[in-house]
Structure 1
Amino acid sequence: MQALRMFGPGDVRVVQVTVPDIGDHEVLVKVKSVGICGTDLRIIRNGITGVGPQTPRTLGHEIGGIIAEVGRSVKNYRKGMRVGIAPNFGCGICDCCIRGDQHLCARYEALGIQMDGGFAEYVRIPEQAVRFGNLVELPETISFDAAAINEPLSCVYNGIIQCPIAVGDDVLIIGAGPIGMMYAQMAKMCGAARVILTNRSPERLAIAKRIDDSFLTAPAEEIRERIGQWTDGRGVDVCVTANASPEAQQLAVELVGLNGKINFFGGLPKASEQVTLNTNAIHYKQLSVTGSTKANNHHFRKTLQFIGSGILKAELLVSAKYAIGQAEEAIQYAMSSQGVKTLIAFD
């Protein structure tokens, strides 16, 4: 089968590999659609522990597909079942896993990160993921593309659980990339009065307006002035940093109003993880600052329901689709930030 394999930082190639064998408690999925995530791009740029010329890895954790084979001891899944795949699983016995937060498990693993993932024609689903319900059957109303996009949507939903958006809130989203666009849709679903996106790229802001003309947009250099005008100087109720930069985190503290809420969604690179924040502003404005990371199986299933009901329009976010033979080109397109969501699709 064909797979896009990473052999080290900046070194990704489409190669021929053997279709994975599966054990009695495992499942083999034929990949139909897989999203290219910002996490994939960071790993490709910077590398990841354990991956090198002699130990390559297949990335890709945003996956929709069809079950091609089930192990002889697998009871709840069948060949031919259409599935979305929640990629994160834990040990199953620690406090986090027992609470349902397997994505916070100290022994957490994920398809496409610690093990081979979906940038290939087939992906092996290990026993733990099968046992914990990471494979979710898709109704015919949900496409494979939507199932792939559902993974980052589930991470956004986790962010909203950690930092709730109330009916009537003014919400500022710093960053109009894939996560920012998803956050904007979900903020509107929650009843936000105004959803505001800011970005350095005018192209990204234009895409946001095409997705939903009710979104307010402002270039990065004008956002302070615009927030002052739009809120009569009060500031926004909720701010989300949907891009990973210290400046975004500092700006969030500045532009949120009294009793406001902030979610630091995007993680920072190691070299810039220490950020100077105006803690007096946090104190005197009574701000609540939270973080969110990844998603659990509950989040994944809930956002699939939102897609299935038509509340979220996942496929509006797709800017480009490539075949696996063009996967290297797909990575370059995703890195260019020209569109929103880039997918690799399979026949």
Structure 2
Amino acid sequence: MKVIMELGPKKISLQEQPQPPIQADEILMKVKINGLCQNDVRDYTGDTQWTYPRIGGHEFSGEIAQIGAAVDPEQFHVGDHIVKYILPNCGNCYYCKTHRENLCTQIYSSPTFHNDTGISGFLGMSQYIAVKATDVFTYPQTTSFIDMAFTEPLGCVINSVERADLHLGQDVLIIGGGVMGLLHVLVAKLQGVRILVSEPAAARRQLAQQLGADLVVDPTTRDAAAWVHEQTQGRGADVVFNTTANPQIAQQALACTAFGGQTFMFSSLHPNDPVAVDLGAVHSHEKFIKGTVSPTRSSYYQATQLIAKKIVNPRPLLDRIFPYQEAVAAFEYALRPETLKTMISLD
């Protein structure tokens, strides 16, 4: 089978590797398509702490090619459309036992991230992957592999929005109109809230409105915090989702948040510099600062339901699909700041 191997910063090698054998409780997944996340791009450029060689890719979808002897043949069938819950988790720690698998204490020490004696990575840029049946989520045969590849990022956003416990009629600010910001627009809109979006790119502001944003602003021409307060009778947003990686924007997010409101740091920061916080305002105005990361199994399942039942349509976020033979071009394209979701076909 073909794999897209990362040997180091901007060192991509298209290699032939043996097809992985499966254990009795596993399924052989034929990967059809993989979306490139900003974390994949950082692995490509070397802005990462994970080990090489690496087979990245965690936003992938495909079909069942083979079923292990202990896998229930009534539940899984060759040809089924599937995705995989991608986070390695021990199943035994406090967080796994309390349905917070995304916080498992063993995630970042696993070979998925650090493998000093072999290949690290989520393996989504391989044509075949051996998957535990317990990690498999099925889709209807009518659901496209392209739409299915949005499951993981949508699951991250569902986890984020659910943590906010939104209420009907609230004002919600989403900072950033990239893929994750726009997915926040789609999911938050289902909660009956008014959505404000701060995004400098005109095309992304327009798309945000098409997807359900009520008000948009260009933060390069207006003071975003002042604008938010103008739109909310001086209160600020009840909930702010910061989907950008800029530490300076993290400060702005808190300034946009109403008394008693919530500020969510959805994105990792690059560079991860310390951010000055007015803790006096946090105290006096009862502002809550929270973080969200990755999907839980529950939010992952909910993502499959929203996509399969066409409650959420992620297709407008697709920018371009490259064949696996053009992996370098795909990464270079994804590096461009104006692009949305870039995908690689493994067929």
Q: Shared fold by TM > 0.5?
A: yes
Aligned partners of 2:205 and 2:217 also within 8 Å: yes
- The equivalent residue for 2:128 is 122
Alignment pair present for 1:57 and 2:39 = no
- The equivalent residue for 2:166 is 165
Structure 2 counterpart of 1:118, one-letter code: G
Q: CA deviation at 1:308?
A: 2.4
Q: What is the distance in 1 between the residues matched to 2:319 and 2:215?
A: 21
Aligned partners of 1:150 and 1:314 also within 8 Å: no
- The equivalent residue for 2:244 is 243
Structure 2 counterpart of 1:165, one-letter code: L
- TM-score, scaled to structure 1: 0.90
Q: What is the distance in 2 between the residues matched to 1:231 and 1:155?
A: 28
Q: 1:102-141 maps to which residues of 2 (within 5 A)?
A: 102-108=101-107, 113=113, 114-125=120-131, 129-130=132-133, 133-141=134-142
- Write out the 4+ residue segments of structure 1 that deviate beyond 3 Å after TM superposition: 109-116, 209-212
Q: Give the 3-state SS of the residue equivalent to 2:149 in structure 1.
A: helix
Q: What is the distance in 2 between the residues matched to 1:201 and 1:17?
A: 42
- The equivalent residue for 1:284 is 284
Q: CA deviation at 1:112?
A: 6.4
- The equivalent residue for 1:148 is 149
Two-structure CA RMSD over aligned residues (Å): 2.0
- The equivalent residue for 2:93 is 94
Aligned partners of 1:254 and 1:281 also within 8 Å: no
Q: What is the distance in 2 between the residues matched to 1:329 and 1:40?
A: 14
Q: Which runs of 5+ in 2 are unaligned?
A: 114-119
Q: What is the distance in 1 between the residues matched to 2:346 and 2:8?
A: 25
Give CA-to-partner distance per residue, 1:272-297, whole Å, 9 cap, x none. Answer: 34211111221222112111111121
Q: CA deviation at 1:25?
A: 2.7
Q: What is the distance in 2 between the residues matched to 1:40 and 1:2?
A: 18
Q: What is the distance in 1 between the residues matched to 2:184 and 2:122?
A: 28
Give CA-to-partner distance per residue, 1:303-347, whole Å, 9 cap, x none. Answer: 211222322112121111111112211111111032221111244
Q: 1:63-102 maps to which residues of 2 (within 5 A)?
A: 63-75=60-72, 76-102=75-101
Q: 1:201-220 maps to which residues of 2 (within 5 A)?
A: 201-212=201-212, 214-220=213-219
Bigger mean CA deviation after superposition, 20-29 or 104-113: 104-113
Give CA-to-partner distance per residue, 1:139-185, whole Å, 9 cap, x none. Answer: 13432112110111101111112222221111111111110000011
- The equivalent residue for 1:320 is 320
Structure 2 counterpart of 1:235, one-letter code: G
Structure 2 counterpart of 1:232, one-letter code: Q
Q: What is the distance in 2 between the residues matched to 1:168 and 1:111?
A: 45
Percent sequence identity is: 26
Larger relative helix fraction: 1
- The equivalent residue for 1:38 is 38
